[in-house]
Structure 1
Amino acid sequence: MRKIKKIYKAVSAPMGDLVTYRALPTREVEYIDPFLFLNHHGPQVYKPGNNGLPFGPHPHRGFETLTFILDGDIMHQDTGGGQDVIEAGGVQWMTAGSGLIHAEISSEKFKKEGGPLEILQLWFNLPAKHKMAKPNYIGLQKSEIPVVKEDNGKVNVNVISGSWDDTKGPIPSLSDIYMASIELQAGGSFSTTIASDRNIFFYVVRGAVNVNGEKAAKLQLVEFINDGEELKVEALEDSYILLGHAKPFNEPVVSHGPFVMNTEEEIHEAFRDYQAGKMGVWK
């Protein structure tokens, strides 16, 4: 089995009235190549007549985002033409690539009615060869994500990219990144094999699990050593986890705010291009 290097607790990083925990980066762990950043918003309940999510128009270049909507919704719009509202159980995968401007806010319905909200956003790096790829956006509702049932239905694997057994995720990854969200009933378990040259991303959103002999509870990120290939997970209570894996890029990572590149000069160029309107103009 794959040995665990360390288990990290996400840190509190509130954004105004939005409850937020950040699992990556923290003082203890910078990133797990190519997984760069994870913000866990909520869980919380918004009252009717709220202002919703605070993520108005802002630029990105050089990486991808994957957003999980567990409760509430997100209304997405970008200068590449992407626009929709994704509801609970759905995901949004955006390839910023060469650059775009986007906004992620709550729908008018959510702002009017309120309700529970829990959303996670994960950033993946892009390798140098794909940093300037054409921007792309894919939004999927819950019904569009294939589910693999394990352990007599006690485990639901929502396959987003890559494959689980014979089930292929609907989102093609530029960098062969596998991603799934996994819901487990108490006592439910699964095992899977992940090549030892791939880094694992493992975050417990809700509940608590035993993973390869160690307990990991909600708001904890598990970092593994690249030795064995087997992953064994058992739910100690009803749980929800994010599981991903990918080959590390082993490239320099230079990030500044909304841009992630390989050199400082590329960061300066990104700011110049944004200011010159090369990432689109927000209307």
Structure 2
Amino acid sequence: MNKKKSSFSTQGQRADIGELEIYRILGNRYADAVGPFVFLDHIVPKTQTKVNKTGTGAHPHRGIATLTYIISGEDEHFDSAGNYAMVHSGGVQWMNAGNGIIHDETLNYDSRTDSRITHAFQFWINLPAAIKAQKPAYLAIEGNEVPVKDLSEGKGWMKVIVGSFEELRSAIPDYSAQFLYHIHLEAGASFTTEFPDDVEVAAFLPLHTAILNDEHFDAGDFIEFDRNAGTIELKNENNEACDFILFGGERYKEPIVAEGPFVMNSRLEIANAYREFYNGGYGKIDYEKQRAKISGSKA
């Protein structure tokens, strides 16, 4: 099978929130979506000197699933459907916003470890029109629950955050063919995987340079590939381990209309999303009640 060719590469734009240093990777000037993925923010590794108490602030979503993958730190989640969880390093927060929800997240260093580094990714996954009309849903997945496998010959490991790979299967629901992999390669190691026709695929290099299908790319590069069937070879020629984020899926075939925190299928649906939000249709977050419910269950 032929190697897939890169279509373009680009770097993200700064989009900081409070003390968090963030780069907006997707959308970018070349692409609005990769498969069902319409958004990617990289919260870059940073030593945290003080506890973040304000988070992102309560805000609405509709028509998408948000996915926060925490490399290092702990992420506290609240939403107006009554969901609350604290997920730690290696874990995932997934929220299907469905027909409307308000949520808030606060990322801090992991209180269970000596590390004060915070590092995470947030994706938005576009939902099919039928799912956009359903009630919201939520999953909290700790790091030890994320499917992982060691690669042969001590080359590294691979985690399946969304979708499946060989015997690995994520607990996050699939509403279309989609995948999100975290691949960790030791110095000098390589890994190859293949994709069929009409699958949209992108890679992101969060921290190190790497070789992808014989092309050199820099740390911070987002790379999209052609849609022909073919393989992608990831190669780490550094003197230290290197991480790759590989994601995509089948092309989203319904119209996409995005504005602010809403991704719908028409301008009218966007207008309805705003109207229902301003009319109080998404509910409210009861921070103290949600925290107390979790504390009470541990007593």
Report the TM-score, using the length of structure 2 for normalisation.
0.87
What is aligned with 1:234?
235
Indicate conservation of the 8 Å contact 2:35/2:248, yes or no: no
8 Å CA contact 1:79, 1:282 repeated in 2: yes
Q: Retained in 1: the 8 A contact 2:72–2:118?
A: yes
Paired residue for 1:265, among 246, 268, 272? Answer: 268
1:17 aligns with 2:19: yes
Cα offset, 1:107, TM superposition: 5.9
Q: 1:37 deviation in Å? A: 0.9
Kept in 2, the 8 Å contact 1:35–1:201? The answer is: no
Deviations 1:166-187 (A, max 9, x none): 2222222122311221111111
Match of 2:282 among 271, 279, 282: 279
Is contact 1:151-1:190 (8 Å) kept? Answer: no
Matched, 1:46 2:61: no
Aligned ranges for residues 1-283 of structure 1 at < 5 Å? 1-48=3-50, 50-52=51-53, 54-106=55-107, 115-237=116-238, 238-283=241-286
SS at match of 1:278: coil
Q: Share of identical aligned residues, percent?
A: 32
SS of residue paired to 1:236: coil
Q: What is the rounded CA distance, in whole Å, between the counterparts of 1:259 and 1:172 in structure 2?
A: 20
Structure 2 counterpart of 1:279, one-letter code: Y
Contact 1:53 1:106 survives alignment (8 Å): no
What one-letter code is carried by the residue in structure 1 that aligns with 2:148? V
Aligned mates of 2:74, 2:164 — CA distance in 1? 26
Q: For residues 146 and 114 of structure 1, do their structure 2 counterparts lie closer, same or farther at Cα, with a shift above 3 Å needed?
A: closer
Q: Is the 8 A contact 2:76 2:107 kept in 1?
A: yes
Shift of 1:13: 2.3
- In the TM superposition, residue 280 of structure 1 has moved relative to its aligned partner by 1.9
Deviations 1:185-219 (A, max 9, x none): 11121111111211113111122221111122321
Change in 2 beyond 3 A, CA 1:139/1:216? farther
Query: Structure 1 residues 62-71 or 100-109, which shifts more?
Result: 100-109
Between the aligned partners of 2:9 and 2:126, the Cα distance in structure 1 is 22
Q: How far did 1:91 drift?
A: 1.2
**Which structure has the highest strand share of the two?**
1
Q: In the TM superposition, what is the alpha-carbon distance from 1:278 to its structure 2 partner? A: 2.1
Task: For residue 272 of structure 1, give the secondary structure of its aligned residue in structure 2.
Answer: helix
In 1, the alpha carbon distance for the partners of 2:173 and 2:183 equals 19
Instruction: Name the SS of the counterpart of 2:144 in structure 1.
Output: helix
CA displacement at 1:282 relative to structure 2: 2.3
Deviation at 1:246? 0.9
Q: SS state of the match for residue 67, structure 1?
A: strand
Contact 2:195-2:231 at 8 Å conserved across structures: yes
1:262: Cα distance to partner?
Answer: 1.1
Secondary structure at 1:266's aligned position in 2? helix
Distance 1:225 1:90 in 2: 31
**Cα shift at 1:108:** 9.8
Of the structure 1 ranges 174-183 and 58-67, higher mean CA displacement relative to structure 2 is found in 174-183
Contact preservation (8 Å) 2:4, 2:229: yes
- Asked whether the equivalents of residues 42 and 118 of structure 1 are also in contact (C-alpha less than 8 Å), the reply is yes
Unaligned segments of structure 1, at least 5 residues: none
Structure 2 unaligned residues grouped into runs of 5+: 287-299
